[in-house]
Structure formats: structure tokens, C-alpha cells
Amino acid sequence: MAKKKIGFYGKLESTANNKAENLYIIVNKSSIVFVVKHIVKNEFVSVEHFEQTEEASSWSPLLAYLQNNSSLLQNYYKDIFLVMNGNRLILSQTDTKDDLIAAAHELELVHGHKLDEEIYTSPIANKHFLIYGIADELIAILNRYFPSGKWQHYTSYFLGNVIDNEVQVRIFEDCFIIYIVDKGITKLLNYYPIEGEDQNIYTLLNSCINAGINTNAFLLKVWGYEEGKHSFITKAAPYFAAKQIIQIEQVPNAYSSYFIF
């Protein structure tokens, strides 16, 4: 994961005695993104995006980065958050926070059995619970560098937001999330691989059908859209009441998927 895809750098105001920024480290199966946010100004200051190279087969680059920069990170940032992002998760209505075996069985029923992972659950609004697995090789990193628990799954950041009727789409390099809320109630949350244009359109509209909603009454809200690259969004948009593409100042709109904080 050492190949840098892109980087934007603004002026940092943090010092050892005046910590003005937070650092977010977003990790998924194909990339690591470092995002710096100014706490007072509520602005994203810097971004670094690294893609996994073919020879990288573990999380050792992330471990090495944290080891080599641990003192610098602690001295200059007020808070550091590790954000896991992956599709091995389910949204459950079963309270399994005290029964991880039951949670593991529920996760395996949907995604299949996987060795060498630890199961976690997070309570979400509307009596939902997020169940997800973290690879064992990452647990040591989490426990060592984030003992305060300042890490969680990506979807935890936006599932608790109060919204009415929306179909949210968040686009990443190789996948996109569809999150459907009907009258304030979560109806669907899932990750899908990015495929051909027709298949992506079918996936989006079929997800809405499976959730039992009439798209003509819903807002389509999109993060991470790139002109000329994600045409399935513009072709699917007429099926919805309206569309909104989230704009992020100072950085390309393609990176707005990561800015959920």
C-alpha cells in the first residue's frame, strides 16, 4: 500500500502545545487515506491517498507508518481516528452486543465463514446493530495505537444521522454503498462492486425495489461522483424526485466519500 495516488496539502496550525487538527486514517482492502481536518474552522486541510500495490499482501505498511510516525502523530494532532471500511458487515435488528457468537453466526450466514477475524458490534439508531469482522492481523494495530477506542467502522459515522426519505450512494475506487432511509427508518444498507454502467444502474434501482420504496418520492444523494467516470448516476437520476451531489471545498469531489466526519 505504498503507491501514492494523490495528495493535497494545506497549512497545518497544530503544534505540540496547540493541537488544532484531527487526523483520520481510513483503511479498506485496496487503499489507505489520511485526512486532516481543522477542528475550529471545520475544514479539511490535507489529504493523502495511497493505493495497495500488487506485492502488498498484508497490513504491514500501515503498521510501519504508525510505528515510524507515532511520536509525531501524538504530538501534533488533537485526536487520531482509525476508520475501517469494508463490505463484511450487516445491519441487524438483533441485540447481539452481549452475544458475539450469535453475531458471528449472523454475519457468516450472509457473508460466509472466515477464519482469523474478530467480531464487533455497534449500536445504531432505530434499534439497529452493526455487526462486522476485523482481521486478526489488524487487531494488534488497533489495540496498540488506538487503546482509547477512537476507531470504528465507516458506516457508523453516518448511520445515526437524522434524515427523512433519501437514497444515499457513496462511491469508492472499486465499490459503492447504497443506504436507503424511508420516513426516517433504515430500509437497506449494502456494499456493491463497481461494474459496468448497465449493471450499476440495475443494482441501484433494484436495491430500491427490494427496499419497497417509490424512487419518485426520494432524493438521490451522492458522494464521490466523478464526471465521465460514474455515468450510471446521471442515467439513474431521472428515476428519483431529485438528485444532490455533495461538493467538498478545496479538494476534488471524487474524495467526498471519505469526508464523513
Summarize pLDDT for 60-116 with one digit per residue, the tens. Answer: 666 666 666 666 677 788 888 888 888 888 888 766 556 778 888 888 888 888 888
Number of domains comprising the chain: 3
Q: What integer pLDDT is reported at residue 175 of this predicted model?
A: 92
pTM, full prediction: 0.84
Q: CB-based contacts of 164: which residues, under 8 Å, 6+ apart?
A: 181, 183, 184
d(CA 207, CA 188): 8
* Residue 55 sits in the same domain as residue 9: yes
Q: How far is CA 220 from CA 32, 133, 208, 217, in A?
A: 27, 29, 11, 10
Of 158, 176, 199, the residue at which a domain comes to its end is 158
Of 102, 127, 158, the residue at which a domain comes to its end is 158
d(CA 169, CA 233): 9
* Residue 140 sits in the same domain as residue 96: yes
User: Which of 156, 167, 159 is closest to 214 using CA atoms?
Assistant: 167
* Residue 42 sits in the same domain as residue 106: no
What's the CATH number where 14 sits?
3.30.420.250
* Residue 231 sits in the same domain as residue 168: yes
- Hey, what's the cell of 66? 504508525
What's the CATH number where 216 sits?
3.30.420.260
* Residue 57 sits in the same domain as residue 119: no
Summarize pLDDT for 8-64 with one digit per residue, the tens. Answer: 888 888 888 889 999 888 888 778 888 899 998 888 888 888 877 766 566 666 666
Residue type, 35: V
Of 110, 126, 158, the residue at which a domain comes to its end is 158
Contact 232, 204 (CB under 8 A): yes
* Residue 174 sits in the same domain as residue 232: yes
- Domain range for 204 is 161-258
* Residue 180 sits in the same domain as residue 202: yes
Partner residues linked to 170 by β-bridges:
177, 223
Contact 69, 29 (CB under 8 A): no
* Residue 169 sits in the same domain as residue 199: yes
